[in-house]
Amino acid sequence: MPVITEIEDLRRIYRRRVPKMFYDYTESGSWTEQTFRENSSDFDDLYFRQRVAVDMADRSLNSQMIGQDVSMPVALAPVGLTGMQHWDGEIKAAKAAEKFGVPYSLSTMSICSIEDVAANTSKPFWMQVYTLKDDDFMQRLFDRAKEAKCSAAIITVDLQLLGQRHRDLKNGLSAPPKLTPKSVANMMTKVQWGMGMLSTKRRFFGNIVGHAKGVSDPSSLSTWTAQAFDQSLDWDRIREFRKMWDGPLIIKGIMDPRDARQALNVGADAIVVSNHGGRQLDGALSAIRALEPIVEAVGDKIEVHFDSGIRSGQDVLKALALGAKGTYIGRAYVYGLGAMGQEGVTRSLQVIEKELDMSMALCGHRDIKGVDRDILMVPKGFSDGWDQEPPAA
């Protein structure tokens, strides 16, 4: 069994065990991938203040996200195609999160369905939805989430257009994937992955096939996908979605203080500062640079969460110090899932938990809820070197 000390260890194993098509899907961004890279590298500009001779005993990472008790302020982010990284991937990730005491978010574009995950877990999970044109499908999706006792809905608002990811196009990754001789040959070298996929009946988009109008089998999925996303989305449309779901609502994809205030106005309970992991607008600020101005804009009127670029517990701690009340990991747990299945997801959470706990202590804190900006040395202009809110025309 390999010794896992950091998330990078899991990524290296993941790369060996999963077909290139699905590895590249995870480990890529749009266009030049500038934002994808800087989401992680910009954390390096933030330094901790080390404190000594303080009581570090009896530490606690326990917190809450949207009123839900969590063992640490970290949730598993919604990631599409998780069930292609490892057979029954969504189920295994959800079970690992449940056992660890952190929230799991299921993507609309998951391989395992809402019902699959609910049948294999005992605690509520969160359901992520995209902003689609079909009101009937959207209402039924929310209704299915209620029936599965999902405790929150996440509306992703930054995917009206699909950012171009060069590697996905070159690999033929689509819904469903377009297999080529090259990709099939690569899959044949991933024996453990292949045997696992043959052992499961879950190989297609379980929330879509058989539920969306005109999508009765995988062959009709690509046409639906190309037409489903609502490019005319506006805040009035989001208000309509709010009426479809009467539970806790999280809006994901906020990168501007003005949009944060709009999310507050439509009745969201939390927002997620996120640029979709650098997979949408390339050349946008990293999420960590965008975080603090958004926190300042909404104050304590709405809970602010953070996503994009986290690869360590130290990254989590820095985001919390800049005002986030919770954080999300996506790639970090997918590396673990692809490397070792459910155990790998648990390993990724353990790595982050240990880094978060020890770093918090060495910064002079025993309770994660008491962490604030004082633990950081933030360079001048880190978040305010640009005109965040240009004057109205």
* Helix, strand or coil, per DSSP, at residue 319: helix
Cα dihedral across residues 177, 163, 258, 134: positive or negative? negative
Rounded to a whole number of angstroms, the CA Rg of the chain reads: 20
Q: Which of 166, 211, 276, 365 is catalytic?
A: 276
Query: How many whole angstroms separate alpha carbon 338 and alpha carbon 334?
Result: 6
Helix (H) or strand (E) holding 159: none
DSSP-assigned beta bridge partners for residue 370: none
Q: What angle do CA 74, 89, 190 make, to 5 degrees?
A: 125
Contact (CB, 8 A) for 137 and 157? no
Instruction: Pick left, alpha or beta for residue 317 (phi over 0 → left; psi -120 to 50 → alpha; otherwise beta).
Output: alpha
- For residue 102, give every residue at least 6 positions away whose Cβ sits within 8 Å of its Cβ, in sequence order, or none: 70, 71, 72, 74, 75, 76, 349
Integer Cα distance of 387 and 316 in angstroms: 26
Count the Cβ atoms, other than its own, within 10 Å of residue 57: 6
> How far apart (Å, rounded) are the C-alpha atoms in residues 128 and 147?
15
- Structure tokens that stand for 342 in this block: 């459910």
Contact 350, 7 (CB under 8 A): no
Q: Are strands 63-65 and 270-273 parallel, antiparallel or unpaired?
A: unpaired
Which residue is listed with tokens 């953070």? Answer: 306
Spatial contact of 388 and 259, defined as CB atoms under 8 Å apart: no
Strand-pairing partners, residue 254, are 273
Identify any residues that bridge with 75 across adjacent strands, giving them in sequence order: 328
| Consecutive H or E run containing 252 | strand 249-254
The yes-or-no answer on residue 211 being catalytic is no
Q: Tokens for 21?
A: 């098509």
Residues taking part in catalysis: 276
